[in-house]
Amino acid sequence: MAREPLATSPGEAATAQIALRPQRSPWDNLRYTVRRKPLGTASGAVILSLILMAVAADFLAPYNPARTVPEWLLIRPNREHLLGGDYLGRDILSNIIHGARLSLAVGIISVALGTATGSMLGILSGYFGGKTDFIIQRIVDSLMAFPTIILAIAIVAFMGSSAFNVMMAIGLTLTPSSSRVVRGAVLSVKQNQYVEAARAIGAGNIRIMLRHILPNVTAPIIVLASIALGFAIIVEASLSFLGLGTPPPAASWGRMLGGLAIQHMAIAPHTLIFPGMAISIVVLSFNLLGDTVRDVLDPRLRGSR
């Protein structure tokens, strides 16, 4: 007499299918992302080019960015000066290449500072709750009450214009939003059973936050950082445009758009078009990359493979 097959529940059948599905290698995942996310791939290529340009600026720039030659004054793009000259007689291409170094450095350091500080405050606020949560969130609310650009201008005006102060100002403006997002993720994660199990076996609060909560909120932190990089570059360019950014002779995209360049817009529009295009392309690339990273790291947005 033949034996009847054992009945399985839908959950067990789905688990069996997942177990039988071949495991993808990291290269397979990379190829899948490149194929399904062409905009993210293109933005990643632009950002990689920006990094290489910033690192090799001294070799790629055809001229010294601080060099001024009267014959280059508002010169139109030509073979020797592919992007022309500005109102001070400097080569625009050389200034854009060296300005990438400043924008990338300010963006990475300020985002790292703001995201790390906001994540720490968010974890403390969400994990402990109560009075700790109340105090931290009221501080966050007070920072979020000011427009971001206004807060950054006030900080730099008080501390003085320098690359370090600009990084500190941008990092502080990024802290509140990072804290809010991480706090929400921690409130969800700390309800899981493995956190209760760790607490039951006597694990301390620091160990629980570092070993059990932080790894499970890393994905939103990475997404926040990738999106905030474009925002940091915009803020740095805005401060430089207003004369509050990194002082000369450091090349800055924002400073190339400000000063007397506006007065020569009618007769030499290329002095504003090319720096503006550089800022727009880089910020758009970081935003698209942030969306791609979010789609890859969030299981709800990946879709079926």
Is the pLDDT at 251 greater than 50, yes or no? yes
Taking the C-alpha atoms of 199, 205, 207 and 213 in order, what is their torsion angle to the nearest 10 degrees?
80
Distance CA 169, CA 110 (A): 8
* Stretch 75-83: mean pLDDT: 89
* Predicted confidence band of residue 216 (pLDDT cuts 50, 70, 90): confident
Contact 182, 217 (CB under 8 A): yes
85 dihedral zone (left: phi>0; alpha: psi -120 to 50; beta): beta
- Please state, for a pLDDT cut of 70, what percent of the chain lies above it: 86
Q: What is the pTM of this model?
A: 0.80
What confidence score (pLDDT) does residue 201 get? 86
pLDDT tens readout for residues 135-153: 999 999 988 888 888 888 8
Distance CA 63, CA 45 (A): 25
CB proximity list for 74: less than 8 A, separation 6 or greater: 84, 85, 86, 87, 264, 267, 268, 271
Structure tokens at 251: 């090349």
| Counts for the chain of helices (H) and strands (E), in that order | 14, 0
Is the pLDDT at 4 greater than 70, yes or no? no
pLDDT tens readout for residues 278-301: 999 998 998 888 888 777 776 555
Q: Give me the residues paired with residue 85 across strands.
A: 91
pLDDT tens readout for residues 153-186: 888 888 888 888 889 999 999 999 899 999 998 9
Distance CA 250, CA 223 (A): 30
Q: Give me the residues paired with residue 91 across strands.
A: 85
Residue with tokens 């073979």, as numbered in its chain: 79
* Stretch 109-122: mean pLDDT: 92
The correct CATH number of 37-72+79-278 out of 1.20.120.160, 3.40.1280.10, 1.10.3720.10, 1.10.10.10 is 1.10.3720.10
Contact 172, 155 (CB under 8 A): yes
Lowest mean pLDDT among 26-40, 201-215, 267-281: 26-40
Distance CA 242, CA 239 (A): 5
What confidence score (pLDDT) does residue 112 get? 93
